[in-house]
Amino acid sequence: QVQLVESGGGLVQAGGSLRLSCAASGRTFSVYVMGWFRLAPGKEREFVAAIRWTDGSQYYADSVKGRFTSSRDNAKNTAYLQMNNLKPEDTAVYYCAARVASGGFPAVHETEYSYWGQGTQVTVSS
């Protein structure tokens, strides 16, 4: 089992920045990919970013490329999502997720992840 706890959401003006954290505990050695997804009102949950735990390889959705950066601290078993130049359309509940099965990268589908955080609200005002 892997437990994920997110933090760092909040309210920010357009153009501002936030950094989300996702702290993993439990069988963290089994984590292969950490992904970030978001769920906006009236929309389906969508992929945002993924980072491969072993070598830090990253992959981003086109909508956030160049603005968001994913990173990880293996010693702290924590993944981060730095979000810059935020836009109102970035408003959503953000979730981190852990994939424990090795395989292809990136993992952009929800079904590829076994463990999920509780979600953290990000609201961007115009």
- Encode pLDDT of 57-93 as tens digits: 999 999 999 999 999 999 999 999 999 999 999 999 9
Q: How many CA atoms lie within 13 A of 17 on its CB side?
A: 8
The percent of residues in the chain predicted with pLDDT above 70, rounded, is 100
Name the residue among 66, 70, 76, 78 with its Cα closest to residue 37. Answer: 70
Q: Residue 47 pairs with which residues in a beta bridge?
A: 37
Whether residue 103 is predicted with pLDDT greater than 80 in this model: the reply is no
pLDDT of residue 102: 78
Task: With a cut of 90, say whether residue 29 has pLDDT above it.
Answer: no
CA distance 119 to 125: 19
Q: Which two tokens stand for residue 41?
A: 């009102």
Closest CA to 95 of 23, 2, 6, 3: 6
Residue 94: pLDDT band with limits 50, 70, 90: very high
Burial of 102 (0-12, 13-18, 19+ CB in 10 A): exposed
Round to whole Å and give the CA distance between 21 and 18: 10
Tell me the average pLDDT across 6-12: 96
